[in-house]
Amino acid sequence: MADIASLASTTLAASETAAIGAAFASATAANPQMAQLAQFNNMSTKQFDEAAYSLNYTQTGCYRQGSLPVALASNDTCLPGWHCPNSNDEYPPQYCPPYEVCQVMRSGKATCNPQGLYEPKVCADGHYCPPGGKQELPCPKGTFCPSGSIQPRVCSFGAICAAESVRQIVTIPLGLMIAIDCALAILVAVGFAISKWRKSRPKKYSTLDAGDNPADDIELLRSPSMLGRSASPRLSVSGPNSPIPRPVSTHTRRASGRVDNMDGCADDDEVSLYDDDSRLEADFHTSPDFQRFIRSMSKTIETNSIGLSFDFEGLCFETKKGKKILQDVTGTMPRGSCWGVMGGSGAGKSTFVNVLMGKAHNTGGTIKINGWAKDMSKYKKLIGYVPQDDIVFPELTVRENILQSARIRLPSSWRDKAIQDHVDSLIACLQLSHVQHSRVGDATHPVISGGQRKRVNIGMELAAAPMAIFLDEPTSGLDATSAATIMRLLRAISRLGVTTIAIIHQPREQIFYGFDQLLLLAHGRSVYSGPTEDVQTYFEGMGFAFPQRANPADTLIDIITGDGAQYTLGSRRDTEVRTLIDEWKSKGQFGAHQKHLSVTFDGTMPKRNRRTSNQSINSTAEQEESLRRTMRNRGASWPAQVYYCWKRAMTQQVRNATSFFFEIGVGALAGVIIGLSAFASNGHLFQGVYHEPFILLGSAVDYSSTPQIGLLGAMAIGLAASAPGFWVFGEEKLMYYRETASGHSRSAYYVGKLLSTLVRIAISSLHFTVFLGILATPLISFQMMYAANMMYFWCIYGLASVISMVVKREDGPLLAVLASLVIGVLGGVAPPLSKVKEWHMEWFWRLSPGVWFTEAYFTENVTPLGYLYQLPLASKAVGFTLGQYGLDIAVLFLIGAVYRIIAYFCLIMVHRDKQR
């Protein structure tokens, strides 16, 4: 026997010699054949192999004939999670060479039945093995037992767990998801029903309301009842029923508006529109809506006049590249006046208006507001600017768009009831009561007419009770009737005392004569500034003739662009623009056409104004202080602005129900796809190296399945959330520019929008997590998996926000998707983080949220199996640090917050010129 043991040591490893000797000793005592073999002291290796192969499994404890066992311990040792039913101290656990089928199963990360009588096995799926390993008990109902369980795991409340379950199917999150979806569907349906009811209920029209019937608009054109008289002095209102004092105009208004028709006679309808000032003033006091609106206006003004006056002397503007846009423009615009600014392309109209309202800073000359030189950009809450394009929120109704502007820009001391009344009267004045509950729509899906959209655009500025309003081509793109309606509105605004300045381009004759005053620009210089009724006389005095049947506005544009040769009379031959500029500067600048001019080129005051200058100094100083007081009182508080912006954003989401449901549907589909990829694993997403001494019984390790779930999950979330995250800010930049230019708080807008995304993030991540959890059933709890997924959604939304601030609208969604895929790939899976550490690049990978997301998944799926596997080996192999789930989630939140901080700074720094 000693010789056989010695022979065995020449062919087997030293660690196996003792086990073989012990096996043969026991076999010799039980079998005479073995005793006989012991007599052969000079047995060869071949003879020994033949003798060993003849042994059956009852003699060695292994089931495979001829196999020799390897003792795994010196006594009956059974590790937690193992089943050792037959071993004892005399026959301790042993390893037996497996059959081919078992070998294949183990190489494929599966387990097989014991290959010997004393070989342990991992506790089977759906069973648990109490300490000692002598029992393998089925999992009772309400619990589940993955492979290698030492005790049943209690299923979550409401989860489906039949007897001998390997995994649990959570149902409470599924039920919660279904309940939320039903609630959202009901909310959308109710909102749609309410909107339909509002539109269908009987409408109570104001005396100022008109439908979309052109006949109604023509009738309103013939009746000037909607036009009031200028209201410059501050109104003293002691109560809601107090009589409104008769407004007093601060400047002389004359508007002939008389148009020569083909017969050489004036059109009576057009004359009635503009000539009868006394009738306009009388009708103003009979309009209850205008009375309410002017009463509201007066409450917002701390000065003794509603409008602002603008004096500009030697005004110049030069670009950074040295191009001169404006040169030596001098003039005055009294409060309550209605101005039209005209000129050819490149004449400097938009630049002049931008400089006047503080959007651009003049490079030369001075600007005085109410007689004081000041930076108008600091007083932007007191002015309104209506861009050429109708920049409104298409998802909101007419009333909601106007009400939002009023709530944010009116004094914070106003109660909501007063704001609502103010908006009601304004909507009536705008003739929008019949469509106030209709959505505005956009160019691709219009809901209201173009003229109505333009009035909404103007109403958003009037809602803030401005002291001056600037408009960029308010009638462009409108039909004749809509343009006339807009013109009536502008005149009515100026008669309230609000200084109205509009850039106008090729207006029809009726619109042209609707302006009280006219400023003509050519090559950045003024060629006329004065009453509209006098412009024809002025140019006729210079030798130009105006055809009777032609639009005088068209004739003027031809003349001031140097194309006026066809209109010359007599000896007039010089039509150069430079000549027109010089003639205005020498003859008309301070003549009868500029009655209100208060400054001159040499900085002195015209003689006709010097007498009253000293008398007005005290009142001007008082007005300056009251102007500052008005400025301080304007605007809602920061928390209120956050709330209103959040409320508006939530309303937009409800109205865009299709895109919202599509977003959460994509999130759910992503969870289904990733879950199906892991469904066959039956929840077994990790296979490691067993603890000593059962290493030989191990299968092929599986360190990749759990990280791959993290990688695929990160990429799926990126695809589902990147585009929606981009559109949060990418689709309404123009609206943001408009609001910030009018004094809205940038941070309040940003925080309000940010808060509105939390609901989307929470619901989308819920759908993703529910389906992933039901199909993949990882060991990580639903709560922890949901937290990790939600934080990664948070990061993707933040990353998409950064992209939305710096790229064009059409390029943004694609770049957002690509960026989300990049940070997903940098998740530490391929290449593994362990390899990255060898490159000394872990710090770069750690900048990506994908690493922390995957690490959180890996930690919570692997840590519960620490009693069964050697986790430090797994951690070293993949490079992830175990046991820091809380840190992983915190860093994910921090990265998402950093993305948003970067996005905010990009928001306020990119295109700063558009935010002034």
Rounded to a whole number, what is the distance in angstroms from the first to the last CA of the chain? 101
Residues 604-652 have pLDDT tens digits of 344 444 444 444 455 566 767 777 777 778 888 899 999 999 999 998 8
For position 305, what pLDDT does the model report?
A: 67
Q: Region 362-367: what's the mean pLDDT?
A: 87
Query: Taking the mean position of all CA atoms in its chain, how far away is CA 768?
Result: 21
Of the listed ranges 65-79, 228-242, 738-752, 839-853, the least confidently predicted one is: 228-242
Strand bridging mode 153-154 / 310-318: unpaired
CA angle, 683 as apex, 681 and 688 as ends, to 5°? Answer: 80
User: Running DSSP on this structure, what letter comes out for residue 382?
Assistant: G
- Determine the average pLDDT of the residues in 318-345: 88
pLDDT of residue 3: 40
* Angstrom distances, CA of residue 69 to CA of 12, 98, 889: 12, 10, 48
**Residues whose CB is less than 8 angstroms from the CB of residue 494 and which lie 6 or more positions away in sequence, other chains included:** 230, 336, 337, 338, 500, 516
Q: How far is CA 330 from CA 307, 366, 598, 709, in A?
A: 20, 9, 10, 71
Residue 18's pLDDT band (boundaries 50, 70, 90)? Answer: very low
Q: Of residues 550 and 36, which shows the higher confidence score?
A: 550
pLDDT digits (tens, 9 = 90+) for 415-439: 889 899 999 988 988 888 888 888 8
The pLDDT score that the predictor gives to residue 242 is 40
pTM: 0.80
For the chain, give the mean pLDDT: 79
Tokens of 248: 């007093």
- pLDDT at residue 899, as a whole number: 95
- What the block records as the tokens of 354 is 């931008």
Identify which of 55-69, 259-273, 701-715 has the greatest average pLDDT. 701-715
Instruction: Give, as one character, the DSSP assignment of residue 434.
Output: G
User: Are 569 and 545 in contact, with CB atoms under 8 Å apart?
Assistant: yes
| Percentage with pLDDT > 90 across the chain | 32
CA distance 357 to 87: 93
- Beta-strand pair 517-522/338-343: parallel
pLDDT for res 546: 87
Q: What token pair was written down for 893? A: 């939140």
- Of the two residues 227 and 857, the one the predictor is more confident about is 857
Q: Note whether 62 and 116 are within 8 A (CB).
A: yes
Name the DSSP class of 584.
I
Give the model's pLDDT for residue 250.
Answer: 38
Give percent of the chain above pLDDT 70.
79
Residues 450-487 have pLDDT tens digits of 888 888 998 999 898 888 999 988 887 777 777 887 88
Torsion of CA 252, 256, 257, 261, to 10 degrees: -170
Q: How far is CA 440 from the centre of its chain?
A: 20
Segments of 304-416 assigned E as strands: 310-318, 324-333, 338-343, 364-369, 372-373, 383-386
Distance, CA of 294 to chain centre: 37
Residue 912 has pLDDT above 80, yes or no: no
d(CA 378, CA 141): 72
How far is Cα 24 from Cα 29, in angstroms, rounded to an integer?
A: 9
414: left (phi over 0), alpha (psi -120 to 50) or beta: beta
State mean pLDDT over 149-166.
Answer: 90
**DSSP state for residue 700 in the 8-state scheme:** -
Residues in the chain, total:
916
Instruction: Centre a 10 Å sphere on the Cβ of residue 276 and count the other Cβ atoms it contains.
Output: 13
C-beta separation of 885 from 858 below 8 A: no
268 band by pLDDT with thresholds 50, 70 and 90: very low
Confidence at residue 285, expressed as pLDDT on a 0 to 100 scale: 46
- For the ranges 8-22, 87-101, 542-556, 571-585, the one whose mean pLDDT is highest: 87-101
The answer, yes or no, to whether residue 36 has pLDDT greater than 50, is: no
Confidence of residue 289 (pLDDT cuts 50, 70, 90): confident
Q: Is residue 776 within 8 Å of 675, Cβ to Cβ? A: yes
Paired tokens of 628: 């500052």
More reliable by pLDDT, 395 or 624: 395
pLDDT tens sequence across 90-131: 889 999 999 999 999 988 888 888 999 999 999 999 999 999
Tell me which H or E stretch contains 316.
strand 310-318
> How many C-beta atoms lie closer than 10 Å to residue 112's C-beta?
15
- Give the span between the Cα atoms of 563 and 345, in whole angstroms: 13
Q: In one letter, which amino acid is 741?
A: A
Q: Indicate the range of 190-204, 416-430, 673-687 predicted with least confidence.
A: 190-204
